[in-house]
Chain A
Amino acid sequence: GAVVSQHPSWVICKSGTSVKIECRSLDFQATTMFWYRQFPKQSLMLMATSNEGSKATYEQGVEKDKFLINHASLTLSTLTVTSAHPEDSSFYICSASRGAGYTFGSGTRLTVV
């Protein structure tokens, strides 16, 4: 079946540094990638939608200069949290879409200290 590999699974970084999270679709080409953020015991909040080769569409209230999304190929999308702060600590999940189906990555736990 379709598999999305998300790395790293967890990361700890210092305030002010940047962190890159990768999502790769291993056995299919993802026309669209969705990036979500999840706070403890809460639902998933859609941050942005990206299509290969074009700029990401960000949801209202999400800072596009802080959360940089690149979808350079049909199998790779990256989310870079720039100048991270403790309030950016969260669980980030990607989801790759091809046609009507969605495949989720296993998530990245980001802790900013």
Chain B
Amino acid sequence: GNSVTQMEGPVTLSEEAFLTINCTYTATGYPSLFWYVQYPGEGLQLLLKATKADDKGSNKGFEATYRKETTSFHLEKGSVQVSDSAVYFCALREEGGKLIFGQGTELSVKP
């Protein structure tokens, strides 16, 4: 079946550091890919998405490019802030609309 694998956390960075959170997927066809962010005690918020190969999703300084050849959708940000501390989930959408999530990566940004 379809699956999503993320790099394990927690990831601890200093403010203004460069962030990469790796995400790879296994799927039939070319599913839409998403990054969601979850702040403590809250639900998920869509961060960005890409619907086809080579698409780049971007929002709030975060970017991710849909790489078909490596089946990856790595999340990057050039300069993180303390307010970016959260759990980040990579996900794909199956036919029929179900979302398959990765295990989540906790990011902690220190001042």
Give every chain A residue within 8 A of B43 (Cβ-Cβ).
4, 6, 93, 104-107
Give every chain A residue within 8 A of B104 (Cβ-Cβ).
41-43
Q: In whole angstroms, what is the CA distance A97 to B28 when docked?
A: 22
Give every chain B residue within 8 A of A72 (Cβ-Cβ).
none
State how many residues of chain A have any CB contact under 8 Å with chain B. Answer: 21
Q: In whole angstroms, what is the CA distance A109 to B42 when docked?
A: 10
Asked if residues A43 and B89 are in contact (CB atoms below 8 Å), the reply is: yes
Distance in Å: Cβ of B21 to nearest Cβ of chain A: 14
State how many residues of chain B have any CB contact under 8 Å with chain A. Answer: 17
The stretch that binds A, out of B56-64, B69-77, B95-103, is B95-103
Given that A93-B44, A104-B43 are contacting pairs, would A43 and B97 also be in contact in the complex, using a CB cutoff of 8 Å?
no
Give every chain B residue within 8 A of A42 (Cβ-Cβ).
103-104
Give every chain B residue within 8 A of A109 (Cβ-Cβ).
41
B82 touches A (CB below 8 Å): no
Q: Report whether over half of chain A's contact residues are helix, strand or loop; otherwise say mixed.
A: strand
Asked if residues A34 and B103 are in contact (CB atoms below 8 Å), the reply is: no
Give every chain B residue within 8 A of A102 (Cβ-Cβ).
46, 99
Distance in Å: Cβ of B97 to nearest Cβ of chain A: 6
Q: In whole angstroms, what is the CA distance A6 to B42 when docked?
A: 11
Given that A43-B89, A93-B43, A104-B45 are contacting pairs, would A32 and B97 also be in contact in the complex, using a CB cutoff of 8 Å?
yes
Binding site for B on A (CB under 8 A): 4, 6, 32, 34, 41-44, 46, 49, 93, 95, 97, 100-102, 104-107, 109
